[in-house]
Structure 1
Amino acid sequence: MKRTIVLLLLFLLVFEWSAAQKDSVLVCDVKFKTPKFDNGHAGSGFLLKYKNQIYACTAKHVLFFAKTDAMKTISFGDDLESWSFVSKTDPEIRISAGKLINEDGTETLAMPPNGDWLVFGTHTEVPSGIHLFEIRTNVLKVGERLYFMGYPYGSNHPMKVEGSFKGYTETGNLSLDVPKGTYNGCSGGPVFDDQGQLVGLVSLGYIDQKTDTMVFEPASTEYFKKIIDNSSFRMDNP
């Protein structure tokens, strides 16, 4: 029993150390053909490996901060010049987003979004300094420790916040007990467990003025799996 506990502690220390050596969270640098709509920090994001393919992910509602006046749906039309996931520790590292997999010209850009994931394919080779998340398969337990990461606006350093799992919302989002705070800019960042396995994405978060409590409801990985498993997208597509 003691040996098991020691091994677990060593594993957690190794994960913490390795996560500290790599960029686990990136920022979204968005450029449009009309430069006045450009946004160098539209939100946070991360890379996810799923079924041997690499995806670049952020929150769908980040489109409210990275859009042209003409964009009314989950589609860029012909307006987008480039979407990059950029390391703030080494700005020369840029992962170019490819096809927007869950693009939908019939889905209105509105709050709350239908599954708050914006998922891109990417053909860019992943640099060694960038962390690749994988989705957790085990069921979450109430009270379990979870974490989220993101870059607040104006910060060159990511925040890592610890919370506990409270259960699921009626819409299927996670419900986390986290400290009160202002996490603007962290939308689209990863939510993960003690072992670094991804369980969700930073989505809804605000302070309830009536109860003076923090409401934090990340989008679960179920929507991501649904759109990928039901998608005809292939990495060799243009």
Structure 2
Amino acid sequence: MKRTIVLLLLFLLVFEWSAAQRDSVLVCDVKFKTLKYDNGHAGSGFLVKYHNKVFVCTAKHVLFFAKTDLMKTISLGDDLVSWSFVSKKNPNVKVSAGELINEDKTELLVMPPKGDWLVFATNAEIPRGIHLFDVRADTLEIGERLYFMGYPYGSKSPIKVEGRFQGYTQTGNLSLDVPTGTYGGCSGGPVFDQHGLLVGLVSMGYVDQETNAMVFEPASTDYFKSIVRM
């Protein structure tokens, strides 16, 4: 038993060290033909490896901050010049988004979105120093410790916040007990377990005005897995 605990602690220390050395979370830098729509920090994002393919992901609702007036659906239209996922530690390190896997010109851009994932293919080699998440296969347990990462607006460094898994919402999102905070800009960041395995994506979070409690409901990986299997 003691040996198991020691090995787990060593694993966590190695993950913490490796995460500190690599970019586990990036920011969305979006450019359009019309410069007034450009946004150098539309949201956060990350890379995930699934079934031997690498995808780059952010939240679908990030489109509200990275769109032209003509964009009304889950489609980037003809005005987009580039969508890049950029390291804030080293802006020269970035991943250019490829095809939007879950583009749907019939799905209106509304809140809350259906399955709050925006999933892109990757067309080029991934730069060194960017972390690739693996998706967790096991079921989450109530009370389990989970974490999320993201870049708040104006921050030069990412935050890592710990919470406890409380169950699933009626819409299938995760429900996490996290400290009350201002997490604007973290949308699209990764949510992962103690072993660094991906379990969700930063989606909905707000302070309940009646209870003053933080409501934090990341999108689970279920929608992501259904999209990339198509």
TM-score > 0.5, shorter chain as reference: yes
In structure 1, give the amino acid aligned to 2:110.
Answer: A
| Contact in 1 for aligned 2:94/2:127 (Cα 8 Å) | no
Task: Give the drift of 1:5.
Answer: 1.1
Task: Give the drift of 1:79.
Answer: 1.2
CA RMSD of aligned residues (A): 0.5
In the superposition, the TM-score normalised over structure 1's length comes to 0.96
Residue identity over aligned pairs, in percent, reads 76
Task: Give the drift of 1:217.
Answer: 0.1
DSSP 3-state at the match of 2:62: helix
2:182 corresponds to = 182
In structure 1, give the amino acid aligned to 2:47.
Answer: L
In structure 1, give the amino acid aligned to 2:155.
Answer: S
Q: Which runs of 5+ in 2 are unaligned?
A: none
1:20 corresponds to = 20
In the superposition, the TM-score normalised over structure 2's length comes to 0.99
DSSP 3-state at the match of 1:98: strand
Task: Give the drift of 1:34.
Answer: 1.0
Distance 2:155 2:172 in 1: 31
In structure 2, give the amino acid aligned to 1:203.
Answer: S
Task: Give the drift of 1:21.
Answer: 0.7
Per-residue deviation, residues 105-159 of structure 1 (Å, max 9, x unmatched): 0000000000000000011211220000010001000000000000000110000
Mapped pair 1:131 → 2:147: no
DSSP 3-state at the match of 2:83: strand
In structure 2, give the amino acid aligned to 1:64.
Answer: F
2:121 corresponds to = 121
Task: Give the drift of 1:3.
Answer: 1.1
Distance 2:226 2:57 in 1: 14
1:233 corresponds to = none
Task: Give the drift of 1:172.
Answer: 0.2
Task: Give the drift of 1:59.
Answer: 0.1
Matches within 5 A, 1:40-119: 40-119=40-119
| Contact in 1 for aligned 2:193/2:199 (Cα 8 Å) | yes
Distance 2:33 2:75 in 1: 15
Task: Give the drift of 1:8.
Answer: 1.0
Aligned length: 230
Stretches of 4+ aligned residues off by more than 6 angstroms? none
Distance 1:77 1:44 in 2: 21
In structure 2, give the amino acid aligned to 1:73.
Answer: T
